[in-house]
Amino acid sequence: MRVIADLVVNHTSDRHPWFRSARSSRESPYRDWYVWADEPRREPGLEPVFPDAEQDVWTLDEGSGQYYLHHFYRQQPELDIRNPEVRDEIAKIMGFWMQLGLSGFRVDAVPFLVEPPSDGHGRDQDTHGYLRALRRVLTRRTGDAILLGEVNLPHADQRAYFGGAGGDELTMQFDVVVMQKLYLSLARGDAGPLTEALRGRPDIPTDCQWATFVRNHDELTLDKLTDDERAEVFTAFGDEERMQSFGRGLRRRLPPMLAGDQRRLRLVYSLLFSLPDTPVLFYGEEIGMGENLDLDGYGYRWLRVTRPGERRLL
């Protein structure tokens, strides 16, 4: 068995010592580890990921009088990965965990990591160059380790994140397009949308692969479907507003969506395991775990180890 872990280095908590130091003074050595602006900068695509929770990607830090960037929640200030000191720290984090035996990482929200907004200081964004640098850090330590990327983009745009002909960036990517078309096929009882998505995959480097999945730990996003297609999936699997997320996805797990029908569940997982490339399971799928829609967020909570051999849902 090999183990990979989440590499979430887009941001830190606003309670992290780095950010506490950064906001304490404009002269802090950690100030430039984050993205600051005297006034909110408006750029194409610079919008909140969670529009129901955040109205803007900039929040005023009243103590220092500047705004800090957060693509996600305001309590998650964005790290500035153009800063060489930040890059060095990320490399140290990766090295620490690989020394303990990890075989790679799932890289969270990759486009936000490697394509930050302009910083106003003229620093080179070096978008895909940084992803190649992360891959080199990985393979220098363990030649067969992987970077599994979360890149929620159309197939044509995902291709660039594998790298050049030799596949020198992400080793694998979640195939979000195939996942969304899978649910449309299930809603219609027609394999056509899924077949179309599989045939529409671009050619990728020989040593790279797609990761296929039924559920991931975020909402079941349906943003690559048309409005009418999304409405079909909502009608079939989540027709109540509380089952939906941001108007673009579902908060649900698969067993309740299929009303616990064992035949349909076996059908979906048989299909997943027969698709090309590598199937990925989310924790709880192996036991048919459902959801609790009374919880905030995605309708489930994380597992926490309380002591050796014991786990419980938070």
Identify whether 108 is a catalytic site residue: yes
Q: How much is the pTM?
A: 0.87
User: Does the pLDDT value for residue 208 go beyond 80?
Assistant: yes
From 32, 80, 150, 285, the catalytic residue: 150
**Distance between CA atoms of 41 and 23, rounded to whole angstroms?**
19
Give the pLDDT mean for 252-263.
93
* Distance, CA of 293 to CA of 39 (rounded, Å): 38
- Sign of the alpha-carbon torsion through 235, 216, 88, 207: negative
Asked if residue 248 lies in contact with residue 198, where contact means CB atoms within 8 angstroms, the answer is no
User: In whole angstroms, what is the distance from residue 154 CA to residue 170 CA?
Assistant: 16
Q: 5-11+79-313 has which CATH code?
A: 3.20.20.80
Give the pLDDT band (50/70/90) at residue 156. Answer: very high
How does pLDDT run across 69-108, given as a tens digit for each residue? 999 999 999 999 889 999 999 999 999 999 999 999 999 8
Contact between residue 113 and residue 68 where contact means Cβ atoms under 8 Å apart: no
Q: Where are the domains of the chain?
A: 5-11+79-313
Q: How far apart are CA 174 and CA 211, in angstroms?
A: 5
177 sits in which H/E element:
helix 176-188
pLDDT range class, residue 116, cuts 50, 70, 90? low
Catalytic residue among 108, 168, 169, 229: 108
- 86 contact partners, CB below 8 Å, separation of at least 6: 33, 79, 80
126 catalytic residue (yes or no): no
Residue 213 tokens, joined:
């999945």
